[in-house]
Amino acid sequence: MVATTADLARPRVAAGRRVRVDGGFIAASAVLALVAFLVLFPLGMLLFGSLWTSRPGFPGSFTLDNYVKAYTSAETYQVLLTTVLLIGAKTMLAVVFATTLAWIVTRTDTPFRNALEILATLPFFVPGLLETIAWIMLLSPNTGTINVWLRALFGLQGAPFNVYSLGGMIWVMSLGSTSFIFLLVVNALRNMDASLEESARASGAGAVRVALTVTLPLVAPIILSAGMLSFIRAMDAFETPVLLGLPAKVFVFSNRIFAAVQYDYPVNYGLATALGVSFFALMIALIIVQNKILKGKDFSIVTGKGFRPRVVRLGRFKYVTLAFCLVYFVIATALPLSQVFIGSFLKVFSLPRWDLFTFDNYLAILTDLTLWRGLINTFIVCGAAAAITVLLCTMVAYITTRTQYIGRRALDLISWLPWAIPGIVAGLGMLWAYITLPLPLYGTLVLLVIVLMTTGLPLGTRLMSGVMVQLGRELEESSRVHGGSWPYTFTHIIAPLLKPALAGAFLLLFVGFSRAVSATILFVGPGTELLAVTLFSYSQAGRFQIVSALAIVLMVINVTALVVARKLGAFGESARF
Amino acid sequence: MFRARGGAALPTVGETDHTLPAVRLDNVAKTFASGAVAAVDYISFEVHDGELLVLLGPSGCGKTTTLRMIAGLEEPDDGHIWLGSRAVNDVRRNVFVPTEKRNIGMVFQSYAIWPHMSVFDNVAYPLKVRHVSRGIVRDKVERTLELVGLHGLESRSATQLSGGQQQRVALARAIVFEPKLLLLDEPLSNLDAKLRIHMRSELKHLQQHTGITSVFVTHDQAESMALADRIIVMNRGRIEQVGTPADIYERPRSRFVSEFVGSINVLPALVTGVSGSHVRLRQSGRDMVCLASGERTFADGQQVLISIRPEKLTFVRERNGGQNVWEGQVASMAYYGDHREYEVQVDDQRFKVTTPVGVAVERGEHVLLGCDPAEIVVMAEV
């Protein structure tokens, strides 16, 4: 470089430094390139597909027809309205349930509240698919157990309940969301600094006044953010809308896109991609609104020193709250789980009867080759995807939290982006993208690994950056100062210190991947079956008995894995989601 | 773009030349992306071979950033840094020697002891990365641990140590490989008050014993006085004053330095006459005389600030026709065991006065305050 006169004059601050191409820069750029490829290529192809006249990989020309068709059709607006209605209603219901339950178990002298708390969190560990088929078995109009009983009891003609309806979807989805919101709110209430309430009591305010003027305002942001989070995540819901909505022709975004690709004849890729892009845009808008409203408030704002806060004495009313919790437990957990359990021992979908008792469903699992291939593939694909995702996300988290790499903000944003892409839309984009590549990827397990990795990037990155932030920066710097190169520091200091967190993140991702349906369903075929997708297809085909049997086996495995992950400390930062 | 590992050597000066400063910063600047204000605003200074230099200033003054730039943990936006004859930063030529190639020992504020390693492994780390043979590693680690008073704790897990012990491990790790330069980033701030004073004197002793060139960052002025050969006072990313502890305390150059280091009375005044080294001043209706230190010249009619340390003011019995005697009334008194602190109202001005315990005056009493002309420091800044 030749120094000009201008250079020699005292420059403005921050003028001088340039990007230096060294090993770190190259490594970080490679990570950025990989993440950008995984995320932006499918997203770009989705956009391209929505502007293309024909199917993926086929000749065609650019057009706006898909959007014109989509937005001039009344059906699209109906879909939007139904989506908002479904998610809004189920979130409200869940927030009311969750907040009430959380308040009861943390702030009142209701008997057995510790046990009640565990009971209230149980549905969190029940996969959405299982919850759905349980309620189908309970509330399907003709053969649903509750309907049959009610008919017999009151001599009714029709079915009192029909699970194949908007109401049915709201009901089933709200139960799963309740335990999710409950988990967030209960922690906030528990960790809330007791002295905040106690000083209000000391100033002369009564219990009710304290609850309304101190407790509620303090936890309101948490309730709000938990509700918004639940709202946004529910946009992505797939299994319940497909299983309950499609038979009743109640369309929301996710099941309409799926139907357009899977059931419309001819396959309506144009509508699917146009809706997909709109759906993605809606998600981004919602997330922006969420950030605007919450403005950096998070779940930690009221956490204090962790003293057990004082509880409100309810007097006789405490039996009412106890009853409320028990009824909730029976309806939300005991009823569906026992239905699934009983269903797994029945020859046909029916009321429990001894003459229908059988072990055949469990035996069928043993002889069903599709299931076994699915199980083996699930272990291979999810294991590989989780391992690679953890490694990649550790790199991403390191670059975004620890370095001054010029593209770190872009990297952070791109790795977060799949968070805003609903599973079915991501699947559609990846289908378009990888089918056009001149590589024999389609129909292989490798492609499934790539698909899962892409969807796992946001969770993996958030988990690892949470851990990275907790890991003192000086621990690493002191290795560098005293002569350790970056690779040496990584293998001797960072990796050993992160080992439990890495294992925990692996397990969490593995469990998440093994449940994934919406992103992978367009990629499975003979030989590349995945267990979750097979279970979903069996459910669609009404084979609830075998699904019940296998789901029970799987749930036991899942809960074990989650408990191990919790022990390993992987939940440290998960409250950020 | 290229990357120079060693950087360019200064022309005409050899590596072993002892007149060369151990560290030299030239017009170094740094702004963080988050803040519009410069963290370090074009500063230059040198660290002499074998000295203990303290960077002193309030939080956010840029002292830690400066230290981290010397260590290579932050990159300056502009300027040069030399370690001996080696240019480790030359921003305009895109020269940056990575941290691990600078051969520096550093003690961090959090100690940064690796929890997954034993005391021995922590201290041996710098030697292991330098591929020192096993026997020598054992030898050196043991000797260093002995030096810092941790002999026999080699196999202890680092997490089982007290704060003071962790501090010593961090120090041992930073000096075990005999680096040319030792950097210390507020190393005592996490210790309790008594241990802090104890470690302070041990540190000073160790530094004198080993003769290692050291840069010490702190916001504690008492600590800086006790430790430093020289002090650099920083404020808002700039250097306010460089000097020995006595210089800084007795001859502060600015209001900031005088007020940051110890308690002081700072008053605006007007120069009314200069004769030789005597400067005549008018302060709020009172005449004063002071002795200028010689470095600075003052002109008639110039507005200045003067500063007087509270312990330089005394209660005098009578005017004796002497200069710098003012009448006032005691507004408050506080007893500290080894001294007393008074506030004395002189017309519209309140003076802080520190006296030995033996000097007992009641609140409300009228007193005469006196001050030696040599103890009044005139600062140009207003």
Q: Give dist(CA A249, CA B71) in Å, integer.
A: 66
Report if residue A70 sits inside a domain.
Answer: no
Identity of the amino acid at A292: K
Give the gap in angstroms from C-alpha B116 to the nearest C-alpha of chain A. Answer: 7
Report which secondary-structure segment, H or E, holds B223: helix B221-227
Which residues of chain B from 145 to 204 reach within 8 Å of chain A, CB to CB?
170, 173-174, 177, 183
Q: Does A314 score more than 50 pLDDT?
A: yes
DSSP A403-426: ---TTHHHHHHHHHGGGGS-HHHH
CB atoms within 10 A of CB B340: 18
Instruction: State the first-to-last Cα distance of chain B, in angstroms, to the nearest integer.
Output: 48
Would you give per-residue pLDDT tens digits along chain B (382 residues)?
333 344 444 444 344 455 789 999 999 999 987 667 889 999 999 999 999 999 999 998 999 999 999 999 999 999 999 999 999 999 988 899 999 999 999 999 988 999 999 999 999 999 999 999 999 999 999 999 999 989 889 899 888 898 889 999 999 999 999 999 999 999 998 888 888 899 999 999 999 999 999 999 999 999 999 999 999 999 999 999 999 999 999 888 888 999 898 889 998 899 998 887 788 888 888 888 888 766 677 888 888 888 999 999 999 888 776 788 989 999 999 999 999 999 999 988 899 999 999 888 889 999 999 998 888 888 876 5
Interface test with A, best of B43, B99, B157 (most A CBs within 10 A): B99
Out of A292, A318, A343, a domain closes at: A343
pLDDT, tens digit, for every residue of A340-360? Answer: 888 888 887 777 778 888 888
Out of A278, A311, A343, a domain closes at: A343
**Chain B residues closer than 8 Å to A475 by CB:** 112, 114
Give every strand in the sheet of B238-243, ordered side by side.
B104-107, B181-185, B213-218, B52-56, B230-235, B238-243
Of residues B1, B91, B106, nearest to A481 (C-beta): B106
* 3-state DSSP assignment of residue A491: helix
What's the domain count of chain A?
2
What is the model's pLDDT at position A309?
A: 58
B341 backbone dihedrals φ, ψ, rounded to 5°: -120, 125
**B60, B107 contact by CB (below 8 A):** no
pLDDT, tens digit, for every residue of A351-400? Answer: 777 888 888 888 888 888 998 999 999 999 999 999 999 999 999 999 99
A271 lies in the same domain as A123? yes
What is the model's pLDDT at position B294?
A: 61
Identity of the amino acid at B336: Y
Alpha-helical regions (H) of A403-530: 408-416, 423-436, 445-470, 473-481, 486-489, 495-515
Q: Cis peptide leading into A56, omega within 30 of 0?
A: no
**A184, A299 contact by CB (below 8 A):** yes
Of residues B78, B102, B173, nearest to A11 (C-beta): B78
Report if residue A74 sits inside a domain.
Answer: no
Which tokens sit at A302? Answer: 């009221």
Which tokens sit at A273? Answer: 């991609």
Domain boundaries, chain B: 23-103+180-255, 263-379
Q: In this complex, is the C-beta atom of A12 within 8 Å of any C-beta atom belonging to chain B?
A: no
A141 lies in the same domain as A250? yes
Report if residue A397 sits inside a domain.
Answer: yes
Give the gap in angstroms from C-alpha A25 to the nearest C-alpha of chain B. Answer: 12
CB atoms within 10 A of CB B291: 16
A50 lies in the same domain as A116? no
Out of A311, A343, A375, a domain closes at: A343
Q: In this complex, is the C-beta atom of A27 within 8 Å of any C-beta atom belonging to chain B?
A: no
Of residues B1, B91, B125, nearest to A21 (C-beta): B1
- Work out the average pLDDT over A84-101: 93
Which residues of chain A from 400 to 459 reach within 8 Å of chain B, CB to CB?
404
Instruction: State the first-to-last Cα distance of chain A, in angstroms, to the nearest integer.
Output: 48
Q: In this complex, is the C-beta atom of A26 within 8 Å of any C-beta atom belonging to chain B?
A: no
Report if residue A570 sits inside a domain.
Answer: yes
What is the model's pLDDT at position A188?
A: 79
Which residues of chain B from 26 to 55 reach within 8 Å of chain A, CB to CB?
29, 31, 38, 41-42
A487 lies in the same domain as A518? yes
What is the model's pLDDT at position A214?
A: 81
* 3-state DSSP assignment of residue B83: strand
Q: Quick one: how far is CA A144 from the chain centroid?
A: 29
Half-sphere exposure of residue A468: CA atoms within 13 angstroms, side-chain side: 19
Of residues A17, A472, A479, nearest to B110 (C-beta): A472
- Work out the average pLDDT over A21-48: 93
A101 lies in the same domain as A195? yes
3-state secondary structure A85-116: HHHHHHHHHHHHHHHHHHHHHHHECCCCHHHH
A446 lies in the same domain as A324? no
Residue B14, burial from CB neighbour count under 10 angstroms (0-12, 13-18, 19+): exposed
A176 lies in the same domain as A310? yes
CB atoms within 10 A of CB A36: 16
- Cβ separation B130–A483 shorter than 8 A: yes
What is the model's pLDDT at position A244?
A: 95
Q: Which domain holds residue A477?
A: 23-63+353-577
Q: Quick one: how far is CA A69 from the chain centroid?
A: 31
* 3-state DSSP assignment of residue A513: helix
CA distances from B157 to A472, B138, B162 (A): 18, 17, 11
- Cβ separation A475–B109 shorter than 8 A: no
- Beta-ladder partners of B282: B270, B287
Angle between helix axes A74-107 and A216-234 (nearest 10 degrees) is 140
What is the model's pLDDT at position A412?
A: 92
Q: Is CATH 2.40.50.140 the classification given to domain B263-379?
A: yes
3-state helix, strand, coil in chain A (%, to 5): 75, 0, 25
- Cβ separation A481–B125 shorter than 8 A: no
CATH for A29: 1.10.3720.10
Of residues A22, A477, A485, nearest to B112 (C-beta): A477
Q: In this complex, is the C-beta atom of A1 within 8 Å of any C-beta atom belonging to chain B?
A: yes
ipTM of the complex: 0.81
Q: In this complex, is the C-beta atom of A155 within 8 Å of any C-beta atom belonging to chain B?
A: no
- B23-103+180-255: CATH topology is Rossmann fold (3.40.50)
A254 lies in the same domain as A367? no
Q: In this complex, is the C-beta atom of A10 within 8 Å of any C-beta atom belonging to chain B?
A: yes
- Cβ separation B38–A3 shorter than 8 A: no
Report which secondary-structure segment, H or E, holds A169: helix A166-191
The whole model's pTM is what? Answer: 0.79
Give the gap in angstroms from C-alpha B129 to the nearest C-alpha of chain A. Answer: 6
Cα pseudo-dihedral B229, B230, B234, B239, rounded to 10: -160
Chain B residue at shortest CA distance from A4: B92
